[in-house]
A and B are shown apart, each in its own frame.
Chain A
Amino acid sequence: MAVAGKEMEVAVHALRFLAWRAFLYVALVLTVAVMALPFYWMVTTSLKDVVQALRIPPVWIPNPVVWNNYPSAWGAAPFGLYFFNSFFIAVVTTFLDVITSIPAGYAFAKMNFWGKNVVFNLLLGTLMIPGQMLLVPSFVLINRLGWYNTYYALIVPWTAGVFGIFLLRQFFRTVPDEFWDSARIDGCSRFRYLFQIAVPQVRPGIATVALFKFVGSWNAFLWVIIMTDKVGLRTVPVGLRYFMLEVGTDYPRLMAAATMAIVPILILFLFAQKQFIQGIARTGLR
């Protein structure tokens, strides 16, 4: 009797476990469906003609698949130029941000100097400043510098960032001091040590910083429309907005353009998922 009761208990336990598992996966799949649906809808709409796109009930799988929206959207606005601008600005900004963040992050991680805490807290404080608060003074400043409608306005202000410095500081902290001690004994300057020995050890951190900077730069919109108003300087998001104002509610073409704007970020993400997740995980744990 006692044995049967025990078996019963195990069976109930197993059932409850299975039920919980089932519930868990149903909930997760539903969540993913909700998260993915707008993307699915964007891509499928871009592959329909207008008649299909506007049909109710909606057409879930485009039939026939219409590819024409892509060349049509691409030809309707100078997207080639927009993509060039976005790439150029993002690559240069990212490169310079990494270059400035490496020594700064290293200094905070491994060096002892006068005013270290004050400077560090000052930088930490910038996180509380909403960037939008700085729009008017930055606009005045950029005009005074004569940078209105130039690449400088879109690149230079973003070449240093607190995120990169803090993240790299964390990474540099994990580099053992013994490396520096022995490098110093061998007569190596700190600068050379930093770039030849320390930097290769924090490569994952640098990749993470670069990724987030690139994405941030690629997605920038407000700053670009305030600091420039030339067609020649439009980036992908800005161009997308103007495209939208032009074509109105031609949804298939709009969605084709939106897909094109997202694809570079998507590719980047697929190739560097680990760095993204790492960056995210580390922002929470300070």
Chain B
Amino acid sequence: MQRFGHWRRKRFWWETVEAYIYLLPTLIVLGLFTFYPFVNAFVYSAYNIRTRTVPGPVVFTSTEGVEDWVRLLSRGRLPEELTRALERRGVSPDNLWVRLREANRWVLKDEGSNDEYIVLRDGDTLKVHKAATGWVGTPVGWANFQRALQDPDFAKALVNTSVYVGVSVPVTLVLALVIATLLNQALRGRPFFRLATFLPYITPVVAITMVWGWIYDRHVGLLNYLLGSVAGLFGFQFSFLDWLNDARFALPALIIMNVWRFVGYQALILLAGMQAIDREYYEAARVDGGGGLEIWRRITLPLLTPQIFFLLIISLIGSFRIFEEVLVLFHGPGPEKAALTIVYYIFTKAFDSGHYGLASAASVVLFAIIFVLSLFQLTVTQRRVHYER
């Protein structure tokens, strides 16, 4: 007996080794590009991080004509020998200019590829380095969080994002439930309907947002025309809304577009859930004499709770990430910053103004919000969800 246990344990450990070999690529990639950055997001939020241009690998060295080089570079001109050397590396001389002039140190920029080169003088030699980015961090404690929380823009971003999420998530879900119910009843044509409802979800955000930008056009856009026609049908006057330039309509424009984009996807998940419900429940209910609506409320809805909560969590997390749409629709934070979202704030703070620490602090706040909401939903889910089996 003991022998047998020993053998089984040995097999278990062997299998453990094998399993981790199978998991190794995944663990390396996720560890390096998900877990490590995740930890760093917290670390960086306590630092003031700046970038510096530092010399990277040497491209070219020269010991001749050093004085000529220095004279030319100091005037912002480029020595011919240098442009020729860089041209061999595929840098067009027309794109090259001297971005920074210091004593014995010059930074050249290649507009074609956005690469930078650093020329350093060391006595009688000149070295041309490819520029690299160096990172300098100084610990600042909670200062980044204080700055973010005192920044009216961040407050605005929080409010805008919350309104966006608070409206679009429930609206999408309710509409998706209605559509799924309709699709579940349909006898024919389901594949066609499925195709049409699903398509918005997989099209590139940038492309489809461009289309909506055109639909939202104030004077010649389709939406205003359709709204005007419908209003006219009922004898109302309708003045065209300036969807993209009026602060009141910026968030509604985002909400309408993204409800449209995600409702089909959610409806399909709910439909799959509905079709997985055992027919017997319905038959039993019909025998008991329940009406259509009542059956839906008493059987379909409770048995769909796993899907509904799943959708709630992923759409909450997904909606807090809204960014691309803002950039493409408004080319900025929108009129009076009415479409400034948290991720937009993070993006501009980090990559436009270089406040990486501040952006990290804002990221941590974003994570905290999503984390708390998810936890809240999970605890509710534990109590309320009806699982079929």
A165 touches B272 (CB 8 A): no
B199 touches A222 (CB 8 A): no
B23 touches A119 (CB 8 A): yes
B273 touches A284 (CB 8 A): yes
A100 touches B29 (CB 8 A): yes
What is the bound-complex CA distance between A257 and B312, given in angstroms? 34
Out of B56, B270, B351, name the residue touching A284 (CB < 8 Å). Answer: B270
Knowing A251-B214, A280-B265, A280-B269, say if A269 contacts B321 (CB, 8 Å): no
Chain B residues near A229 (CB-CB < 8 A): 114
Q: What residue in chain A is nearest B257 (Cβ atoms)?
A: A38
What is the bound-complex CA distance between A250 and B264, given in angstroms? 30
B204 touches A218 (CB 8 A): yes
Knowing A140-B135, A143-B133, A281-B268, say if A133 contacts B366 (CB, 8 Å): yes
Chain A residues near B23 (CB-CB < 8 A): 103-104, 107, 119
Answer yes or no: B205 CB below 8 A from chain A CBs. Answer: yes
What is the bound-complex CA distance between A38 and B30, given in angstroms? 37
Answer yes or no: A201 CB below 8 A from chain B CBs. Answer: no
Knowing A136-B41, A261-B206, say if A113 contacts B212 (CB, 8 Å): no
Q: Using a Cβ–Cβ cut-off of 8 Å, how many residues does chain B contribute to the interface with A?
A: 107
Out of A136, A138, A245, name the residue touching B346 (CB < 8 Å). Answer: A136
Answer yes or no: A149 CB below 8 A from chain B CBs. Answer: yes
Q: Is the interface of A mostly helix, strand, loop or mixed?
A: helix
Out of A100, A113, A139, A241, name the residue touching B26 (CB < 8 Å). Answer: A100
Chain B residues near A31 (CB-CB < 8 A): 179, 182, 193, 197
Among A39, A128, A141, A265, residue most surrounded by chain B Cβ atoms (within 10 Å)? A128
A273 touches B195 (CB 8 A): yes
A136 touches B44 (CB 8 A): yes
Answer yes or no: B20 CB below 8 A from chain A CBs. Answer: yes
For the complex formed, measure the closest distance between the CB of B47 and the CB atoms of chain A, giving whole angstroms. Answer: 11
A107 touches B19 (CB 8 A): yes
Please provide the chain B residues from 99 to 148 with a CB less than 8 Å away from any CB of chain A in the complex.
112-115, 132-133, 135
What is the bound-complex CA distance between A149 and B204, given in angstroms? 22
Knowing A134-B37, A218-B204, say if A25 contacts B197 (CB, 8 Å): no
Knowing A35-B196, A133-B364, A285-B276, say if A149 contacts B113 (CB, 8 Å): yes
What is the bound-complex CA distance between A113 and B18, given in angstroms? 9
Please provide the chain A residues from 268 to 286 with a CB less than 8 Å away from any CB of chain B in the complex.
269, 273, 276-277, 280-286
What is the bound-complex CA distance between A99 and B29, given in angstroms? 13
A232 touches B37 (CB 8 A): no
Summed over the interface, the residue pairs from A and B with CB atoms below 8 Å come to a total of 292
For the complex formed, measure the closest distance between the CB of A42 and the CB atoms of chain B, giving whole angstroms. Answer: 5
Q: What residue in chain A is nearest B200 (Cβ atoms)?
A: A35
Out of B18, B33, B307, B363, name the residue touching A111 (CB < 8 Å). Answer: B18
Please provide the chain B residues from 166 to 215 with a CB less than 8 Å away from any CB of chain A in the complex.
179, 182-183, 185-187, 189, 191-200, 202-208, 210-212, 214-215
Knowing A32-B196, A104-B23, A133-B366, say if A241 contacts B328 (CB, 8 Å): yes
B204 touches A140 (CB 8 A): no
Out of A24, A57, A100, name the residue touching B186 (CB < 8 Å). Answer: A24
A156 touches B29 (CB 8 A): yes
Please provide the chain A residues from 145 to 183 with a CB less than 8 Å away from any CB of chain B in the complex.
146, 148-149, 156-157, 159-160, 162, 165
Answer yes or no: A219 CB below 8 A from chain B CBs. Answer: yes
Q: What residue in chain A is nearest B273 (Cβ atoms)?
A: A284
B207 touches A261 (CB 8 A): yes
A137 touches B346 (CB 8 A): no
A114 touches B12 (CB 8 A): yes
For the complex formed, measure the closest distance between the CB of B275 and the CB atoms of chain A, giving whole angstroms. Answer: 8
What is the bound-complex CA distance between A138 and B359, given in angstroms? 13
Answer yes or no: B335 CB below 8 A from chain A CBs. Answer: no
For the complex formed, measure the closest distance between the CB of B205 and the CB atoms of chain A, giving whole angstroms. Answer: 6
Knowing A126-B34, A156-B29, A157-B29, say if A280 contacts B12 (CB, 8 Å): no
Q: Which residues of B contact A (CB under 8 A)?
A: 12-13, 15-16, 18-23, 25-30, 32-38, 40-41, 44, 49, 56, 112-115, 132-133, 135, 179, 182-183, 185-187, 189, 191-200, 202-208, 210-212, 214-215, 217, 219-220, 222, 225, 260, 263-265, 268-270, 272-273, 276, 306-307, 310-311, 314, 317, 320-321, 323-324, 327-328, 331, 343, 346-347, 350-351, 356, 359-360, 363-364, 366-367, 370-371, 374
